[in-house]
Amino acid sequence: MGLFIPFISCCICPLHSRSSLRNIRLMLTLSFLLGLTNLTLTYPSKVIIKSFTCKSEDAKIATKALRYAVDEINSRDDLPFRLSFDHHDVEPGASEAWSLITAVCNELKEGGMTLISIDGGRGYEAMRGLADMLEMPLISITPPTYQIENTNFFGIAIRPSTAEILADFIIHKGWTEIIMFTDGDYSGIPMPSLWHHLHKKTNQSVSAHMVELPAEMDQFDEFLRQFHVRRFNDTHAFHSQRSAEDLKNQCKDVVVPKFNRIIIDTTSSSRMQKLLIAIRSAQFSQAYYHYVVGNFDFSPYDVEMFHQGNINISGFQLINRETRGYWNLRKHLKKGRQMTTDASAGDDLDAHSALAHDAILVAYHGFARCLAANDSLFHGTFRHGRFYNRGYPGIFCDPAADGAHSSRPFASFEHGRTISKALRGMSLDSRDGTLTGNIQFDQQGERRNYDVSVVDLVSNTKATFNRKEVMAWRQGVGFFSNRTIAQHTRKPMDAGRNRVVKILTNIVAPFTMLSSGCQLNDTTTPECQGNARFQGYCIDLLSRLAKQIPGFNYEIVIGHKAGSRQSDGSWDGMIGDLLSGKADMIVASLTINQERERVVDFSKPFMTTGISIMIKKPEKQEFSVFSFMQPLSTDIWMYIIFAYIGVSVVIFLVSRFSPYEWRVEETARGGFAISNDFSVYNCLWFTLAAFMQQGTDILPRSVSGRIASSAWWFFTMIIVSSYTANLASFLTLEKMQAPIENVEDLAKQTKIKYGIQGGGSTASFFKFSSVEIYQRMWRYMDSQVPSVFVSNYAEGIEKVRQHKGRYAFLLEATANEYENNQLPCDTMKVGANLNSIGYGIATPFGSDWKDLINLAILALQEKGELKKLEIKWWVELTDCVKDTSVDGSSASLNLSKVAGIFYILMGGMIASMLAALGEFLYRSRIEARKSNSNSLVGNFAKNLKSALSSQLRLSVQGGAVAQPGTQSFEAIKRQQAASFLPASNDKDSSMASDNRLSPTYQPYNTAV
């Protein structure tokens, strides 16, 4: 509906001096540009802006853009006033025009200086009539209506009409018939103005058919389907009538075009988006349709979606999307916006919101222009805290209808003509913050000298996507033929066969290097002329591309850095040269990213890489005289010592308690000595000899002793084998222990500083990364003094070499791996790549070579040629011998690798002791039974106890001697004599046999 910008009221103290009054008057008049209040203010004053709109989604978004523009102006520090914004909704319906007039007239009673119309239709017509009557300046965001005479001096239109550009587009296409999809009574494209421009520029007649769109947006799909059916039936009916000779005259007025050219004209951008979605999802063939979006809401999202289909469509773009203001307003409007069905389309900024933003700028600069010409223009407008017009307070639309002011005459706004003249005479552009380019007005208040981008998408059967043309058009001039850019069109294979292609590259090893003995500017040597003076991965890649693409003749030109975007929107470096036409292609280690993709076309990636970490190689460790001990860790050595002592003790104990380890020998005096070979000294010697893989003159005879010995022998076999194997590899490999192993190690320490190349794609990765660890690394690097950033890779690599392990450099993995293999071979890569990026060949939009290069790169990938080139320059042509070095972890054998053998050893010792206890009890029981074979149970228990006691005493004492004449001597004597007698029965025979087999063991039952 309408936006009312009221004025502000204030009083000036008469006690000020004349010069002071003039200065205060100037400041106050500047603050009166767009506000209204009935309070007395002193500068700097606050301007109040009030808006009136019909309730709708588009009006709501436009109002939000107005608020943003007000806040944007208020944020400036050089203004003598600030703006405030107040919004009022008017209910839509049949009486919306009357409701709008009533609301505005009520506000004008307090004062006002200009109006802004947001909505079109009846509301705009009512607002225009009110502005003409009151001579009130009117700024309209809706398209201007067609007027033959200048009857609207007080209105200006921010939104230009599409009638003139549509006329030029129809003439450019050579169309003679069109179909208009419109929204009922209101039309954003005034048809009289369209016919006026067509007749002005061509004598050819153009016929039009008007088709009204349904009111409900969910009916668009059914509407398109029925429209297609009607057009299909009408076409067949037309051809049937033409085949009948007698009905030929009856069908001469029937107009059924073979190709349907449809111009879409909707009242809002939301309805336009819904209709475009319905067109994309239509289930019938649209090969014979060509749609034209008749407003300025053909967004980049729409271009992308239609670009991949077979639908012919064209549209106009008025917004300058290369400015910072566009992105800021888009981000602001995106907050809290209710997304459309296509969320990506809803993210973009529509023309209505951009024009609303520019309307505030026009109003502000218009009043500034008035006051620049006459700083006392509004001196008599404010008195006693009120707004006065022609000597009366406020502005009344109908004084007679107001009882309190029925006696005052009707008076129009006294400064209306001055303000309107200032608005029409202004000139703004993007430097003033406009989003729709150059803003100028003619005498009728319509935009002039503005630029529009025309995007034309046409079905292309030779490619999987449409043919795209972006044409520049200027009001009053027409299309710029020399600025037309054809994009994404499948070209013939012989395109540009006879033209030499200029290839830009830069000197970066191993991608592009000077050949041996050649200088960059030396052309005297025949071997160093032309392309022959260069070598490297990119040079070999170009030669293989030339074999794949017929007629690909190229000349290599050396550039410098890749290029970055400047503050004015231009590009420097190789990308800048490519955009300016100095070269046709960039073949280098050029990273594909979003910002570069906006201005150039990239091929398929010919190599994938990522950001990696380079550090200086750690110093090689020197071996000491005790290096032979390093194959086993210190813990293992300690555990082996403890195991050696423990096993010796276990063998000693089981040998003492096992009766099978005792033997009887005659002494020199004729007595008998009972002894055990496994003393403490002998046990230590036995286990040490087994560990050293040597033999001894004593061996265990008992089961328990043999179990313990077997477990120890198995343990020593594993330990000695592991030590021998680890010693061989440990002494032959040079161990280097890296201080860091990955990016996490680098980020959590501060001893080693790290940096990157400033201003490149690596810096952008860290600066805008959403990963917390990379954000922390960026903050660390950005805060270091002196700076850890370098200007190029060579400086960063040299810094790594000079700082003796105290500096790490983050660079692309391709450069990292190549430099590590070059002399002096003192750097190394650690960890995995931080991200994944690709290198591509850059061409201008619409280049003849893009599709051919893509096909050639895919062919080289499938054949393995690209991998061969990578191996050649990164593996084969190196100066360093690849080391087989151990990583940062220790090479010593630790406990976790051999813990199992210790468990086996402990299990063997426990089993041995249990066996010894069994043997001890078993032999004691046998001895007790022999002594009392026919006695009672009580005597047997007594004898068993005696046998256990004597055996235990023997084990503790470590042996005994039976002297002649003692009871023990006689018992041993009888047993020894009995062992040589023939057996009297089976039992005695078996006993005698057992004694003969074990002559060293003589059982006894007498304590010595």
Would you list the DSSP string of 335-367? TT----SSHHHHTSPPHHHHHHHHHHHHHHHHH
* Contacts for 39 with CB less than 8 Å, ≥ 6 apart: 9, 385
Residue 320, pLDDT > 70, answer yes
Do 435 and 357 meet the contact criterion of CB atoms below 8 Å apart? yes
Classify residue 182: in a domain, yes or no: yes
Angle in degrees, 0-180, between the axes of helices 57-74 and 269-280, rounded to the nearest 10: 120
Do 841 and 606 meet the contact criterion of CB atoms below 8 Å apart? yes
Please report the pLDDT score of residue 965 as a whole number: 55
The label of the residue with tokens 């110093």 reads 619
Q: Which residue did the predictor score with more confidence, 151 or 682?
A: 682
The label of the residue with tokens 């003039």 reads 22
Residues flagged as binding site: 591, 596, 761-762, 812
The strand ranges marked E within 26-130 are 45-54, 81-90, 114-117
Rounded to whole angstroms, how far apart are CA atoms 405 and 550?
88
- The mean-pLDDT minimum among 152-161, 277-286, 667-676 falls in 667-676
Closest C-alpha to 385, from 125, 52, 8, 759: 8
Residue 340, pLDDT > 50, answer no
Confidence of residue 26 (pLDDT cuts 50, 70, 90): very low
Classify residue 882: in a domain, yes or no: no
Classify residue 908: in a domain, yes or no: yes
Burial class (CB in 10 A: 0-12, 13-18, 19+), 744: exposed
Classify residue 466: in a domain, yes or no: yes
Please give the mean pLDDT across all residues of the chain: 75
Rounded to whole angstroms, how far apart are CA atoms 54 and 117?
11
**Domain boundary pick from 420, 448, 479:** 479
Q: Which residue did the predictor score with more confidence, 247 or 631?
A: 631
Cα–Cα distances in angstroms (integers) from residue 895 to residues 312, 632, 899, 912, in the given order: 74, 9, 5, 25
Tell me: do 148 and 168 sit in the same domain: no
Tell me: do 167 and 300 sit in the same domain: yes
**Domain boundary pick from 519, 554, 585:** 585
Q: Which long-range contacts (CB under 8 A, 24 or more apart) does 830-833 make?
A: 830/613, 830/615, 830/738, 830/740, 830/741, 830/742, 831/612, 831/613, 831/740, 831/741, 831/742, 831/743, 831/745, 831/746, 832/612, 832/742, 833/609, 833/610, 833/611, 833/612
| Token representation of residue 648 | 């010796």
- The tally of domains found in the chain comes to 4
Please report the pLDDT score of residue 956 as a whole number: 66
DSSP per-residue codes, 917-978: HHHHHHHHHHHHHHHTSSS-HHHHHHHHHHHHHHHHHHHHHT-EEE-TTSHHHHHHHHHHHH
Tell me: do 120 and 182 sit in the same domain: no
CATH number of the domain residue 565 falls in = 3.40.190.10
Please report the pLDDT score of residue 587 as a whole number: 93
Provide the β-strand partners of residue 382.
387
Residue 41, pLDDT > 50, answer no
Classify residue 202: in a domain, yes or no: yes
Please report the pLDDT score of residue 293 as a whole number: 92
| Token representation of residue 272 | 């336009």
- State the average pLDDT over residues 970-980: 58
842-843/601-602 β-pairing: antiparallel
Domain coverage including residue 254? 163-317+460-479
Confidence of residue 545 (pLDDT cuts 50, 70, 90): very high
Rounded to whole angstroms, how far apart are CA atoms 945 and 947?
5
Do 486 and 468 meet the contact criterion of CB atoms below 8 Å apart? yes
Residue 558, pLDDT > 70, answer yes
**Domain boundary pick from 479, 510, 533:** 479
Cα–Cα distances in angstroms (integers) from residue 431 to residues 363, 436, 957, in the given order: 16, 11, 110
Do 591 and 853 meet the contact criterion of CB atoms below 8 Å apart? no
Please report the pLDDT score of residue 887 as a whole number: 46
Tell me: do 276 and 360 sit in the same domain: no
The H-or-E segment that residue 585 falls in is strand 585-586
- State the average pLDDT over residues 288-312: 82
Rounded to whole angstroms, how far apart are CA atoms 1001 and 755?
82
Classify residue 428: in a domain, yes or no: yes
Rounded to whole angstroms, how far apart are CA atoms 450 and 160?
9
CATH number of the domain residue 222 falls in = 3.40.50.2300
Neighbouring C-alpha atoms within 13 Å toward the C-beta of 820: 22
- State the average pLDDT over residues 461-472: 69
- State the average pLDDT over residues 812-834: 87
Rounded to whole angstroms, how far apart are CA atoms 162 and 168?
10
Please report the pLDDT score of residue 819 as a whole number: 87
Residue 297, pLDDT > 50, answer yes
The 3 state secondary structure assigned to 13-27 is CCCCCHHHHHHHHHH
Residue 596, pLDDT > 80, answer yes
Tell me: do 168 and 152 sit in the same domain: no
Residue 987, pLDDT > 60, answer no
Tell me: do 8 and 141 sit in the same domain: yes
What digits encode the pLDDT tens for the residues 261-286?
999 988 888 888 889 888 887 767 77
Tell me the residue type at 918. Answer: G
Q: What angle do CA 742, 748, 752 make, to 5 degrees?
A: 75
pTM of the entire predicted model: 0.49
What digits encode the pLDDT tens for the residues 157-210?
888 988 889 999 999 888 989 998 988 766 678 788 888 888 888 888 888 888
Residue 888, pLDDT > 60, answer no
Closest C-alpha to 288, from 493, 509, 458: 458
Tell me: do 169 and 123 sit in the same domain: no
Do 370 and 82 meet the contact criterion of CB atoms below 8 Å apart? no
Q: Which residue did the predictor score with more confidence, 310 or 799?
A: 799
Please report the pLDDT score of residue 487 as a whole number: 42
Classify residue 255: in a domain, yes or no: yes
Tell me: do 304 and 201 sit in the same domain: yes
823 Rama class: left (phi>0) / alpha (psi -120 to 50) / beta = beta
The H-or-E segment that residue 406 falls in is none
Tell me: do 12 and 129 sit in the same domain: yes
Tell me: do 648 and 507 sit in the same domain: no
Residues flagged as binding site for L-glutamate: 591, 596, 761-762, 812
Neighbouring C-alpha atoms within 13 Å toward the C-beta of 273: 21
Classify residue 762: in a domain, yes or no: no
Confidence of residue 416 (pLDDT cuts 50, 70, 90): confident
Tell me: do 127 and 192 sit in the same domain: no
Tell me: do 88 and 135 sit in the same domain: yes
Please report the pLDDT score of residue 612 as a whole number: 92
Confidence of residue 975 (pLDDT cuts 50, 70, 90): low
Rounded to whole angstroms, how far apart are CA atoms 105 and 124?
15
Residue 241, pLDDT > 50, answer no
